[in-house]
Amino acid sequence: MNIHGYDAWRLQGPADDQCPECDGHKKHDCMNCGGDGEVADGVECPICEGTGKVECETCAEPDGDYAYEQYRDRQMEERHD
């Protein structure tokens, strides 16, 4: 089933080449401590080691899925132009 416009929307990437998860910063707030760096009063977060920031998993994908998706979207745009 095709929904008019949905397939094109689904295949289009972000407006620019920045990662949609971290906006190109390569890091975002730690979900374990909420970006505070502490899980309890004076207890350092074991996930982010007290920094409050963690590496963006989308940018750090070892298989390069995000880069591939960007390439694929550019190829699709060129075919339709």
Buried b (16+ CB within 10 A) or exposed e, 60-77: eeeeeebeeeeeeeeeee
Query: pLDDT by residue (tens digit) across 11-70?
Result: 665 556 677 778 878 898 999 998 899 998 889 999 999 999 998 887 766 565 777 777
Amino acid at 74: R
Query: What pTM was estimated for this model as a whole?
Result: 0.50
In the chain, domain spans: 6-80
CA distance 17 to 23: 9
Q: How confident is the model at residue 80 (pLDDT cuts 50, 70, 90)?
A: confident
